């Protein structure tokens, strides 16, 4: 797709630090390196995000993300890893081409914090909320 940074990387028009490539998937180091080894796993075909990517391709990207997480823990001394994918600008997505972040975590990470803080909600509303989602699955 024109003007998509990841499509340009896949076509070789923009340089990248590649760590894995097959027919459907490319993995590169994120240029911003939130932590040491921060990697992006990208579908070669252009789909806007995780939710709009065909299952088969989405699964292939996740397979590679799993493997890279395992290897980064083994070779970089990471103690853990965050696997995340942003969907939509409100969720922090800046490049609208499906990709998964693999973020190795160390004992003292300054560059990356992820904390899900509890929002004050009336817990008695949770069953109705669960039903609203469940009905459409």
Q: How far is CA 120 from CA 117, 123, 125, in A?
A: 9, 9, 12
- Size, binding site for ligand AMP by CB under 6 A: 13
Least distance CB 124 / ligand AMP (angstroms): 35
Asked if residue 46 binds Zn ion (CB under 5 A), the reply is: yes
Asked if residue 114 binds ligand AMP (CB under 6 A), the reply is: no
Q: Give φ, ψ of 126 to 5 degrees.
A: -65, -40
Please return the burial class of 115, using the count of CB atoms within 10 Å of its CB with bins 0-12, 13-18 and 19+: exposed
- Selection from ligand AMP, Zn ion, none that 4 binds (CB < 5 to 8 A by kind) is Zn ion
Let me know: does 53 contact 47? Beta carbons within 8 Å. Answer: yes
- Selection from ligand AMP, Zn ion, none that 36 binds (CB < 5 to 8 A by kind) is none
Asked if residue 5 binds ligand AMP (CB under 6 A), the reply is: yes
Least distance CB 8 / Zn ion (angstroms): 8
């Amino acid at each position: 797709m024109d003007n998509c940074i990841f499509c340009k990387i896949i076509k070789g028009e923009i340089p990248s630090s590649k760590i894995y490539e097959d027919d459907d998937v490319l993995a590169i180091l994120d240029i911003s390196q939130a932590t040491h080894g921060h990697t992006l796993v990208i579908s070669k075909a252009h789909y806007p995000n995780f939710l709009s990517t065909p299952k088969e391709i989405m699964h292939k990207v996740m397979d590679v993300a799993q493997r890279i997480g395992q290897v980064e823990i083994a070779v970089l001394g990471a103690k853990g890893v965050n696997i995340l994918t942003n969907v939509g600008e409100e969720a922090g997505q800046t490049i609208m081409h499906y990709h998964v972040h693999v973020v190795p975590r160390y004992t003292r990470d300054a560059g990356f914090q992820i904390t899900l803080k509890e929002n004050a909600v009336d817990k008695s509303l949770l069953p109705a909320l669960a039903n609203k989602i469940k009905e459409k699955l």
